[in-house]
Amino acid sequence: MALSVGCTAKPGKSRGNRTGAWRVFKPAFKHNKCTKCGLCAMVCPEGCIIEQEDEFMIPDYDYCKGCGLCAEECPAEDIEMVKEEK
């Protein structure tokens, strides 16, 4: 299908795309120094960081593409990017 200049994708497309399949690094949420501020969930471009019942955050690895933005922005430095093991 030819794409026109300025075309947009239909909403909801990323849910069908398991972007975790092509990840090289993945974020390890250590839950040691986390202050439960929620910033990681706000900056995640995939919207795949979920708050657990204990209010700690965890990524949904099916959709995490390993961009590292959460680790970069975490003010507590509680997220470490580690090499993906396949």
Residue numbers of the site for ligand SF4 (CB under 6 A)? 27, 29, 34-40, 44, 46, 48-49, 57, 59, 64-70, 74, 76, 78-79
Residue 12 CB, nearest distance to ligand SF4 (Å)? 17
Kindly list the distances between the CA atom of residue 7 and the CA atoms of 2, 10, 63, 70, in Å, as whole numbers in the listed order: 10, 10, 23, 28
String of b and e for 60-80 (b: at least 16 CB within 10 Å)?
eeebbbbbebbbeebeeebbe
Between 5 and 67, name the residue whose CB sits nearer to ligand SF4.
67
CB nearer to ligand SF4: pick between 7 and 55 = 55
Q: Which of 2/84 has CB closer to ligand SF4?
A: 84
